[in-house]
Structure 1
Amino acid sequence: MSDSLIAGLTRALARIGLPHPGGLERLSGGANMESWRFAAGSEVCVLRRAPSLEMMAGRPMDHHGEAALVRAARAAGVLAPEVLVELEAGDGIGSGYVMRAISGSPDPVVFLAETDPQLAIGDIARELAATHSIDCTGLPVPVMDTALALGELRSRFIAYGADRPILGLALRWLEANIPPPAPPKLVHGDFRLGNLMFEHGRLTGVLDWELAHLGDWHEDLAFGCMTVWRFSRPDRPGYGLTSIKELADAYQAAGGETFDPQRFRFWTFYRTFWWALGCLQMGTFWRDGHDRSVERVVVARRTAEQELDLLLLLEELAPLAERAIPLPPPAPTRKTSKGEPSGAEMLTAVSEWLTNDIKPLVSGRSKFDLAVARNALGIVMRELEQQPSAIDVQLCADLMSGKVDLATPGILAKLRRMALDKLTADMPKYPALAIARARWEGN
């Protein structure tokens, strides 16, 4: 544990009369920001900070603006955290702020297993509607222009290589289906399971306001309903709890505006594409040295999840005849010798050693990091054995330009095979993979 982190926290806490922090523990998860839980006297607190100042570069809202918004949300009755103190440059530990800890857990799997779906979706709808009604006058909240934002996503995709055909196809659909501007409301931007605190099945807190902006409120509903955030319940599109219709009804009953299915569909495409690029961005953070954690490179490989989800949405646009074409065979599995162990077998041996010998010796954040490291070894092992690829620069360019589309003979079947093989190697436990296999392979 860093002595400088404890010293910086001590300086920040002294400004509000709290004592030296104790029991500092890094919390698991958090794709962009670090979270540290600790005690300060009788208070239980959480520090939220950027792992490096470079990771805050280009963000439309800094941590001071974020803290101001969180305070405003709490004052408006939303179950937002209580901000206690913001970090200053003199603290020497980066950018962020300290909050009073909220009771409960953000674990989505535990929550989905124990909650009453009707009560929980009512809580979620209430907080969504309350968030969208917050008055942002005087707050440094950025305004989102959908067309400009999509243009920025296109530029990022090109910077990342523009070599993933499914993402190229999704981008073309998005650019052809931008909805007219909506009256701007405060959009949380990351309102999903994993960022919501629950206790005994009831909502106790709304976390992670870093992506908040003024825009179309349908974006929040669509993001929370993405397949990746349903966790163990991919069959329940409304936050892993219910149907989209029941979510929309609950939202409107809580004071929200009338639900528009077409806007919701656009934002489902948009945020799925956005998160695919967000995953790829984790790889650039790692390569550029901003965060050399193994978690960064593993999250980068979750792009395959979003590609599968996008193709499940996009295939509805293909002619029936194309949807009926069988999948081409998968790439042949690499042959292994009966003598010397293959690279995949060596990785398996390392993974088994980590499980049997090292896992009993670690706890807390180190246990989480160990699980991530084993996941990384598994990805490389399966990649060596199966040799999948989601990369095809020319096909991506043809799909982005419209030269090739889902009516082109055999393209849908090719993309399906590409998505299945890549996700099987990268994240074989992703729940939607089984759904896609049943639909496309008839199993």
Structure 2
Amino acid sequence: MNDFPALLSAVMARIAGPGALGGLARLSGGANMESWAFDWAGGGYVLRRAPSADYMAGRPYDHADEAALVMAARASGVRAPEVVGILADGDGMGTGYVMRRVVAEVNPATILADPPPSLLADLGRELAHIHAIAADAIPAAIPLMDTGKALAELKARFLSYGGDRPAIALAIRWCEDHLPAPAPAVLVHGDYRMGNIMVDADGLAAVLDWELAHRGDAHEDLAFGCMPVWRFGRIDRPAFGVGPLEDYFAAYEAAGGAPVDRDRFRFWLVYRTLWWALGCLQMGQAWRSGADATVERVVVGRRTAEQELDLVHLLGEEAPEAERTRALPASPSSAVAPAGEPANREMVQAVRDWLNDDIKPAAEGHAKFQVAVAMNALGIVMRDLDAGVCAGNKALADALLSGSTTLAEPGLLAVMRRAALDKCAVDSPKYAALERARTLWGG
């Protein structure tokens, strides 16, 4: 919006008193909400917002409740940002809130290249502190998660998206068969992972992005940051890409967290991998429906392949030994490129080269990020044209979902492994778990 700086200046004058707006820049992170960094009266701030109330439709609580939760967490000793004000209806800026800016590193690649020695212990300690927040300090709007109902909702979403992805069907059936008994409810951050924490030389500096918080099983938070996708290439370090699981669990328990149940942890590792697979599909659906037409959404929609690979890896561990050691079938043959007029792949390559050579050098800030995303999208299309991979198999997905087919069926695990490898090689060829799977599976 052209009047964004003027509107933000009016908000800050109301919240923090007289000042001048400076350094306004949209931050590239944040899959769901906008984040803007800026300076005001000598201080640094961040605005977290949704452009309209419509964007918040379907969410269990609004930004005012989210801000209240962040304030409650900070008051309880959690290293949450300091909220200084909440957008009002009359501000004309949608919904959101303003926080004092934390000066620390948030980029996972930078953090994991040289993590502070205390970081894994910090992660365990801080999560224990989040789970220890008193129930009466949590805003009433923060919902209680019923795991069985949540799983049923994931299943319904899967079917609404076509229900044709065998790895997702396998995971849904496994979760149904291994649903744990309810656990004592604590505040669950819901998105506790690299990318949502800030780190400085002394260790963990802040925990960000509280929009998915709810009451539920502590093991959900324990597992989420340990998913391969959130290790950001450090696949050999299962706890956040930082270190061993047992050291993480020990730090959590030493800081007052309840004893970690390894079976519950495994359930939630599978469940949240399934959840994110469907989350990626949902973003693709949001683009398709026109609700969010950004190129970032359509690209994230293809990251489902990463989670399918991880699900086949996780659940394949329970297949009979003969199936775990079975050789993989060959990949489908690549299509032969036609001679003569430029092929589809060549046309996509031409557009990709133009973006890289002519558009990207002149782009700045969020626009530069969007150009990179667009180039990634075209790269996926090029690889897909070369490979001719088909991701869906409705008949197999139905059989796995019903339980009439399992990984004990001779050759099925090998077929699913091959499909997962080939799809991930198209959609996310740099995904670290792909190389691990190739090594383990002989692919």
TM-score under structure 1 length normalisation? 0.96
**CA separation in 1, counterparts of 2:55 and 2:327?**
44
How far 1:439 moved relative to its partner? 1.1
2:121 corresponds in structure 1 to 122
Where in structure 2 are the equivalents of 1:163-182 lying within 5 Å? 163-182=164-183
Given that residues 185 and 217 in structure 1 are in contact (C-alpha distance below 8 angstroms), is that contact kept between their aligned partners in structure 2?
yes
The share of aligned pairs that are identical, in percent, is: 55
Give 1:77's aligned residue.
Answer: 77
Describe how 1:113-152 pairs up with structure 2 within 5 A. 113-116=113-116, 118-137=117-136, 139=139, 140-152=141-153
Give structure 1 regions of 4+ aligned residues with deviation exceeding 6 angstroms: none
Distance 2:55 2:161 in 1: 17
State the one-letter code of the partner of 1:224: G
For structure 1, the 5+ residue unaligned runs are: none
Q: Alpha-carbon deviation of 1:54?
A: 3.2
Per-residue CA deviation, residues 53-100 of structure 1 (Å, 9 max, x unaligned), is 333211112111100000000111111011111112222221111111
Q: Residue 200 of structure 1: CA displacement? A: 2.6
Match of 2:101 in 1: 101
- Number of aligned pairs? 440
Answer whether contact 1:51 1:291 (CA < 8 A) is retained: no
Residue 243 of structure 2 corresponds to which residue in structure 1? Answer: 242
**Counterpart contact for 2:115–2:242, Cα < 8 Å:** no
Residues 4 and 161 of structure 1: CA distance in aligned 2, closer, same or farther (over 3 Å): farther
How far apart, in 1, do the equivalents of 2:20 and 2:334 lie?
57
State the AA in 2 paired with 1:168: A
Distance 1:52 1:404, change over 3 A: farther
Q: How far 1:32 sits from its partner (Å)?
A: 1.1
Look up the SS of the partner of 1:25 in the other structure. Answer: strand
Which residue matches 2:296?
Answer: 295
**In 1, distance between residues paired with 2:375 and 2:211?**
30
Contact 2:112 2:242 in 1 (8 A): yes
- Quick check: 2:52–2:93 contact (8 Å CA) kept in 1? no
Aligned to 2:34: 34
The letter for the 2-side match of 1:131 is I
The equivalent residue for 1:228 is 229
Aligned to 2:260: 259
Shift of 1:357: 2.1
Comparing 14-23 with 404-413, greater Cα deviation is found at: 14-23
- Name the stretch that deviates more: 125-134 or 88-97: 88-97
Give runs of aligned pairs for residues 271-286 of structure 1, distance below 5 A: 271-286=272-287
User: Residues 344, 18 of structure 1: CA spacing in aligned structure 2 closer, same or farther, 3 A cutoff?
Assistant: farther
Q: Which range is displaced more, 135-144 or 101-110?
A: 135-144
Q: Distance in 1 between matches of 2:153 and 2:51?
A: 24
Structure 1 residues 18 and 293, CA gap change in structure 2 (3 angstroms): farther
- 2:88 alignment partner in structure 1: 88
Larger deviation: 144-153 or 20-29? 20-29
SS in 2 for 1:302: helix
8 Å contact kept, 1:121–1:241? yes
Letter of the structure 1 residue corresponding to residue 131 of structure 2: H
Farther off after superposition, 426-435 or 289-298 = 289-298
The answer to whether the 8 Å contact 1:54/1:290 transfers is no
Structure 2: distance between partners of 1:52 and 1:399: 41
Q: What is the one-letter code of the residue matched to 2:6?
A: A
CA distance in 2, matches of 1:80, 1:413: 45
The Cα of 1:20 is off from its aligned counterpart by 4.8
Does the 8 Å contact 2:360/2:368 carry over to 1? yes
Match of 2:13 in 1: 14
| Counterpart-to-counterpart distance in 1, 2:407 and 2:435 | 23
Q: What is the alpha-carbon distance in structure 2 between the residues aligned to residue 54 and residue 146 of structure 1?
A: 27
- Partner Cα distance (2:367, 2:305) in 1: 26
Give the AA of the match of 1:381: M
Query: Contact 1:389–1:421 (CA<8 Å) still a contact in 2?
Result: no
Secondary structure of 1:3's match?
coil
1:334 positional shift: 1.3
The answer to whether the Cα contact below 8 Å between 2:194 and 2:231 also exists between their aligned partners in 1 is: yes
Q: CA deviation at 1:29?
A: 2.1
- The amino acid across from 2:262 in the alignment is P
User: 1: distance between equivalents of 2:285 and 2:18?
Assistant: 38
Instruction: Between 127-136 and 345-354, report the one with greater CA deviation.
Output: 345-354
- Is the Cα–Cα contact under 8 Å of residues 121 and 247 in structure 2 kept in the other structure? no
**Matched residue of 1:408: which SS?**
coil
Deviation per residue, 1:321-345 (Å, 9 max, x gap): 1222211111111111343332112
Q: Identify the residue that residue 214 of structure 2 maps to in structure 1.
A: 213
SS in 1 for 2:204: strand
Inter-CA distance 133–399: structure 2 relative to 1 (3 Å threshold):
same
* Per-residue CA distance 1:122-172 (angstroms, 9 max, x = gap): 111111111111113161211111111111111111111111110000000
One-letter amino acid matched to 2:81: P
Change (3 A) 1:289 1:41: farther
1:56 aligned to 2:40? no
